[in-house]
Amino acid sequence: MMRWTVLKCVSVLLLLGLTVPAVAWDCPDFLDHEQRKLHSRDSVNLCEVAAGKPMLVVNTASRCGYTGQFEGLEALHQRYKDRGLMVVGFASDDFRQEADSEEEAAKVCFVNFGVSFTMIAPSAVTGEQANPVFQEINRQSQPPRWNFTKYVIDGDGKVTARFPSQVRPEDARLIQALESVL
């Protein structure tokens, strides 16, 4: 996809004897997919917005007892975005606690909790139907056992830490894991 286009552009520049600009073409394949944003027609390719950046990836659900963690996740986003951290929430109904509509899920995220970090439209995060990001996360680590499982991913796309639902965003262990990849 995008990598092939980048490689062709770099090859043309080299053939013309021109300088090759710094390009984030070493983005892990599992991030190089169009993901539709929550309650939107817009999509995002995580390679284009997060290549080389550390990430905090969380599977979310808007009707879960842990839904209040959106507030803490937003606080982490605000605290670390200038240092390059990408917080990305993946809405999912794998544990049967996502809202019946994306409109309702978006209201919970964006209106009730003021989420400004990237939220991906509902998709599977476990099993064979998991989206490409979670297929790789699950390969490198343990699949989520419940909503609001948190994964710290370094700039090379390696899962460096996993935190279960009950570990809140302000937990010192999570903060330490984030600091270690920044």
- Can 109 be counted among the known catalytic residues? no
In a domain, 109, yes or no: yes
In a domain, 77, yes or no: yes
User: How much is the pLDDT for 24?
Assistant: 42
Say which CATH number the domain at 148 has: 3.40.30.10
pLDDT digits (tens, 9 = 90+) for 61-89: 999 999 999 999 999 999 999 999 999 99
User: How much is the pLDDT for 2?
Assistant: 47
In a domain, 8, yes or no: no
User: How much is the pLDDT for 14?
Assistant: 52
User: How much is the pLDDT for 16?
Assistant: 58
Cα torsion 166, 61, 110, 121 to 10°: value is 130
- The residues, ordered by sequence, that sit 6+ positions from 49 with a Cβ below 8 Å of its Cβ are 86, 118
User: What's the average pLDDT block by block, 10 residues per block, for the chain (182 residues)?
Assistant: 49 53 70 97 96 97 98 98 98 98 98 98 98 98 98 98 98 98 98
Nearest residue to 47 (alpha-carbon basis) of 64, 61, 30: 30
In a domain, 134, yes or no: yes
Compute the chain's Rg from CA coordinates: 17
Task: Tell me the residue range of the domain where 43 lies.
Answer: 28-181
In a domain, 116, yes or no: yes
User: How much is the pLDDT for 176?
Assistant: 98
**What are phi and psi for residue 64, nearest 5 degrees?**
-110, 155
User: How much is the pLDDT for 26?
Assistant: 83
User: How much is the pLDDT for 17?
Assistant: 58
Tally of domains in the chain:
1
HEC string for the chain:
CHHHHHHHHHHHHHHCCCCCCCCCCCCCHHHCCEEEECCCCCEEEHHHHHCCCCEEEEEECCCCCCCCHHHHHHHHHHHHHHHCCEEEEEECCCCCCCCCCHHHHHHHHHHHCCCCCEEECCCCCCCCCCCHHHHHHHHHCCCCCCCCCEEEECCCCCEEEEECCCCCCCCHHHHHHHHHHC
Out of 27, 47, 64, 109, the active site residue is: 64
